[in-house]
Amino acid sequence: MLETYIPIGIMIFFGVTFGVVMSKASEWFGPKNPTETKLSTYESGMEPVRSAHERVSVKYYMVAMLFIIFDIEVVFLYPWAVNFRQLGTFGLVEMVIFIAILMLGYLYLWKKGALRWD
Amino acid sequence: MDFLGSELLAIAPVLSVTILSLLVLVVESLVTDSEKISYWVSVFGLLICGAISISTLDLTGNVFNHMVNVGGYGSLFATLFTTAALLTVVLSRDYLRKEHVSFGEFYLLILFSTVGMMLMAAAADLIIIFLGLELMSICLYVLAGFMRKRSISNEAALKYFLLGAFATGFLLFGIALLYGAAGTTNISYIVENYGKLAASPLFWVGLGLLMVGFAFKVGGVPFHMWIPDVYQGSPTTVSGFMATGAKAAAFSAFILVFAHQEFESGEKVHTALAFIAAASMIVGNIVAISQSNVKRMLAYSSIAHAGYMLAGLAAGNQLGRTGILFYLVTYTFMNIGAFGVLSVLEREEEKNLTFDDYAGLGTKRPFLAALMSIFMLSLAGIPPFAGFFGKYYVFVAAINAHLTWLVIVGVLTSVISVYYYLRLVMMMYFQESELQFTQPSSVSSLAVLTIAALAVVEIGVFPSSILSLINNLY
């Protein structure tokens, strides 16, 4: 049974080796010429201000969480849309129930002010 | 469409609580000062959901491509969970007001976790067990930290979340390995093909990991470390809900996967369960002796009770299954009752929680003291209260399965447990103190506690009513 895993083992071996060799090789063989500008944080061409290790307002996490919820909704919608004809009324009803439940959650967080930025 | 309608009707208990939770969600979003309305909607809704669960007791079969079982076992548990949720909701209202955290979301979270519990008990597939477990656990993590300004509550939530997530990992990995061994996650298929699968080590590793995951959720030693801290830190009524509803849900899934005649020939499964049971009884009961905080004592006692129930599971026979179900029903009433009395007497900043604070309660609050005594005597397993018969059936099952050593451990540790249960009773009646219990308790809380106490006495005096209900399931 274990023999069947040999190809996977070989692939893992080559994958890891390739990654490590490539990154280390460029580190060892590449020219190094550090200047102050090169070592500074990249902030899309702007002058970096303050440290990056700061507390971030919880509002950003809120938006991120909301994004994930509606993102996943779309992930569910795609296969349904592709198979819409085969699933027919059954699929439509199921999807309406699903979206309705999601919308109730949306209503809740909207009314509780989770979307308000200030 | 027809086909969908009948399937949805078949899972009416789960569906009704889901709809109820969504209703409370809408109330929470649209109504100002929603806590009161949420409370009443939850109470009446749970009554209706309980009635629906009872009405589906006689159904059989499974729906959604062998994913969910209908009626019988699942409905009995659904009734139990709605009862536990109802008692918790009613007891919580006063408690939350007292602690200045009365938000309607509390009831919402209780309802959602009830949905998860019901799914677990109705599962015919490991994936549904996982789904229910997660739904239940995530709500309980939030509930554990509901008093967010109290650091001990935050600690409880964080510990519960981290350890719970870790245990869920074990469970999920076990399911994955079982899928690898059997090619399906269907429970009945796995049980039927036990003889064929037992040859594969993958199957045993998967089953073992599954056992670890469930043992964590029921709080069996050595997977019990989280229980004392989480139960002590959580809001008292939530601790009661976790100790009864969540434990019963974990046991319902445990029984679904492990309590089968087919496993008996294997011996391995039942020996492992017997050792977990013995360890839980010993550790739970002995450590409970040294506790000075009543809430923490009840947490250790809940570990010990998980041990008694695991003894029924280790027996692996018909009587064992009946015994656990009976035990769970009685345990729900007596433990929610005990935590309920605690929540009524508790003061802000965790006051009135130690054994010493209960001194003289018998003269100052005779009714509450009497109720607490009933719950304590029942937990200790003294007849005629229900706790005695729970232990009796579980131990008889273990003897029939030739686990006499386990029963000896069980009986000896129950004797030990009498010490700390009766210590509280002794404190209430034979000690004097100048502490005052002035704050009156509300009628609804007292009514619910009285109902729980009556149930404990009723089941203890007439155990056959519940027994015949359970026996009809198999």
Task: Name the band, by pLDDT with cuts 50, 70 and 90, for residue B197.
Answer: confident
From A113, which residue of chain B is nearest by alpha-carbon distance? B29
Q: Average pLDDT for residues A47-74, to the nearest whole number?
A: 83
Nearest residue, CB atoms, A108 vs list B3, B4, B25: B25
Number of domains, chain A: 1
Decide if B249 contacts B328 (C-beta within 8 A).
Answer: no
In a domain, A116, yes or no: no
Q: What is the pTM of this model?
A: 0.89
Q: Is A103 on the interface with B (CB under 8 A)?
A: no
Task: Tell me whether A93 touches chain B (CB under 8 Å).
Answer: yes
Question: Does residue A117 form part of some domain?
Answer: no
Separation of alpha carbons B212 and B43, rounded Å: 35
Q: Can you give the pLDDT at residue B373? A: 95
> Domain with A98 in it: what CATH number?
1.20.58
Average pLDDT over residues B54-83: 90
- pLDDT exceeds 90 at position A66: no
Helix A58-82 with A84-111: angle, nearest 10 deg: 160
| Percent of chain B at pLDDT exceeding 70 | 97
pLDDT digits (tens, 9 = 90+) for B305-332: 999 999 999 988 888 899 999 999 999 9
Spatial separation of the C-alpha atoms in residues B425 and B146, rounded to whole Å: 30
Q: What is the pLDDT of residue B162?
A: 95
Q: B30 in contact with A at a CB cutoff of 8 Å? A: yes
- Terminal Cα-to-Cα distance of chain B (whole angstroms): 32
Residue A52 falls inside a structural domain = yes
User: Is any Cβ of chain B less than 8 angstroms from the Cβ of A50?
Assistant: no
**Structure confidence at residue A45 as a pLDDT band (50, 70, 90):** confident
A118 within a domain of the structure (yes/no): no
Q: What is the pLDDT of residue B264?
A: 63
All residues of chain A having their beta carbon less than 8 Å from the beta carbon of residue B29 are: 104, 107-108, 110-112
Structure tokens at B26: 């809408």
* Digit-coded pLDDT (tens) for B32-68: 888 999 999 999 999 999 999 999 988 888 888 889 9
Q: Which domain holds residue A43?
A: 2-111
Q: What is the pLDDT of residues A87-99, one digit of tens each?
A: 888 889 889 999 9
Rg of chain A in Å (alpha carbons): 25
pLDDT class for B1, splitting at 50, 70, 90?
very low
Q: Is B22 on the interface with A (CB under 8 A)?
A: yes
Nearest CA in chain A to B31: A111
**Cα B326 from Cα B80, distance rounded (Å):** 11
Q: Note whether B25 contacts A111, CB cutoff 8 Å.
A: no
**Out of A89, A101, A108, whose CB is closest to B29?**
A108
Please judge whether B26 and A111 are an interchain contact, meaning their C-beta atoms are less than 8 angstroms apart: no
Could you report the predicted ipTM of this complex, rounded to two decimals? 0.80
Phi, psi of B12 (to 5 degrees): -50, -40
Flag whether residue B25 sits within 8 Å of chain A, measured between CB atoms.
yes
Mapping DSSP onto H, E and C, the string for A41-104 reads CCCCCCCCCCCCCCCCCHHHHHHHHHHHHHHHHHHHHHHHHHCHHHHHHHHHHHHHHHHHHHHH
What pLDDT is recorded for position B10?
A: 84
